[in-house]
Amino acid sequence: MRHALPTALLAAGLGLFLVPGRAAGAAGAWASNPQSRVRLISQWRVAPREGELRMGLQFRLAPHWHVYWKNSGDAGFAPTLIFAPVAGLSRPELLWPAPRRFELPGDLVAFGYQDEVVYPVRARLHGAGSAGRAGTNRLALLALVADLDYVVCEIDCVPYRYRLSLEQPLAPPGSQDRGAGRGELDPQTAPLIERWWARLPLPAGALAGVATDGVLQNGPEGPALEVRVSGVRAGAEADLFLETHEAFEAGRPRARAVPEGVTFHVPLRTKRAGAELPARTSFAWTATGLQRDGRTLALEALREVAIAGRPGADQGSASSSRASAGAPASWTPPDSRLTALLAAAALLLALACWGVLPLPRPARLARAGARQPDGAARPERPAGEAMQPNGASAAAALQALGFVLLAGTLWLLYSLSFQLSAEGVAAIELALVAMALLAWLRGRAGRRTRLRFALAVALAACAALPPWLAGRSRIGEPPPGGDPANRSQQGRDSAYSIDSHP
């Protein structure tokens, strides 16, 4: 008994901390913790009594922390928001803006949002707030209460639970007065909600000329899902997110620009060892970072897909089979920078084999062996004479190796085309051509030492270009520094103090 009062005070204090205060208007009170703060917002300062009610679950996150998409990836879980029923309001639905991918230690990935996110919440008003208020010109309040569970992660994860509330003023009913029955948008929250509403993936088919379909493949690497999106271009951030599937786990998708649009190759692993691929199964995916008419968009689709080559595969989308027929070979380079470096090295070696670049001493000797001691060319070998391991044959072998290396360069460039944007591959090709030109010029520079040195430096710089370009133009990865929207957000977050709650 002696401790009853302090205990009650403590409980009340905790209650105040865990249950954010009520606030009337377009925004509820923030619920805050060291990693994040969250609140309910509405687009309406005064909402109409009928029609769609657009709201949002707004998170502001401390730098580097993230919250999750509907498929959280390898860890965490998606937030759950459960509203208490309200008369005159349909059950609010939490919607999922296009997510981004977070690479985590241990080769794990997470899908979600960093810095700030507003999950759109959609509901419908039908005569809300009329009970007990009808006939008056006073604003009625729609009391919204929702239980939120979420986990916020950086490397660590911290789960939180809050009861959020928002008291949404409603327009007076039934009167002909100015503004009666009509809503009034909030100047702060309405644009914010609209901005995030615009980041919701569009249903496939919502845009004329844009389509998506998929096909299951069973190659030597194992099963894979090949998703094609036509009528768009692959932006630098093109990515594909699969929703959880009962039979498969998805690996990292590889985006590839194709003339019709973009394809995503997603390696799959069956959750049951040795299970046969189903003839048909459904996948839900969201493709992000797509470009059309100068704007970035995301598409979502739920598609029944079949195994490539099986009768009935991709019913109604025969073009999808064509896309998979032209899909990348089972081999794909693991790292585009390493591949680009190898391509440059292979070209340099090829040039050396052809004598455009100086070779090490033994190879020079081989070329010298192809000539007579007096400098005259060795007479042509009579037809049918066996190839002897002499200087001439070694030089010929070297030149042949040059062609093999050139073929290797071209093959590596082909492989890069699955990982890089078309502009990126073109830039690398230009760098390789520049390398060849510089090497040729250096060979013709004679004994002009300074010029030879300058050309050698330029050649080395050119050789470093392909891996650098490869690092910058990978499809499916944000460019260094992120997009302008993110940069502005980062700027805001750097000024955001988790202790300075409004």
Partner 1 sequence: MRSTRTHLRMAASVLVAGLTLLAVAATPALASGAVGDTATPFQLKGVDGKTYSLSDYKGKVVVLEWINPRCPFSDRHARERTMTELAKQHGDVTWLAINSSNPKSSEFTPPAEHVAWNKKNGIEYPVLYDESGAVGHAYGARTTPHMFIIDPQGRIAYNGAIDDDPPGRKAKPERVNYVGHGLDAEKTGGKPDPASTKPYGCTVKY
Q: How far is the CB of 350 from partner 1 (least distance, A)?
A: 11
Looking at the DSSP bridge assignments, the partners of residue 265 are 226, 254
With b for 16 or more beta-carbon neighbours within 10 A and e for fewer, the 311-346 pattern comes to eebbeebeebbebbeebbeeebbeebbebbbbbbbb
Q: At its nearest, how many Å lie between partner 1 and the CB of residue 158?
A: 6
Q: Which residues contact 374 (CB under 8 A, 6 or more apart)?
A: none
SS3 of 70-120: the string is EEEECCCCCCEEEECCCCCECCCEECCCCCEEEEECCCEEEEEEECEEEEE
- Please give the distance of CA 92 from its chain centroid, rounded to a whole number: 28
What minimum distance in Å lies between the beta carbon of 228 and partner 1?
Answer: 20
Helical H segments across 141-237, by residue range = 189-197
CB of 91 to partner 1, least distance (A): 18
- Smallest gap from Cβ 412 to partner 1, in A, equals 9
Q: How far is the CB of 157 from partner 1 (least distance, A)?
A: 4
Task: State which residue, 335 or 429, has the beta carbon closest to partner 1.
Answer: 335
In whole angstroms, how close is the CB of 161 to partner 1 at the nearest point? 6
Q: By the 8 A CB rule, do 119 and 56 touch?
A: yes
Pairing of strands 116-126, 80-83: unpaired
By beta-carbon proximity to partner 1, the closer residue of 206 and 329 is 329
Nearer Cβ to partner 1, position 77 or 496? 77
Determine contact, residues 79/67, Cβ cutoff 8 Å. yes
Binding site for partner 1 (CB under 8 A): 72, 74-77, 80, 104-108, 110, 147, 149-151, 153, 155-159, 161, 221-222, 244, 246, 249, 251, 267, 269-275, 331-335, 338-339, 342, 346, 349, 360-363, 365-366, 369, 389-391, 394, 397-398, 401, 404-405, 408
Helix (H) or strand (E) holding 31: strand 31-32
C-alpha count within 13 angstroms, C-beta hemisphere, residue 86:
26
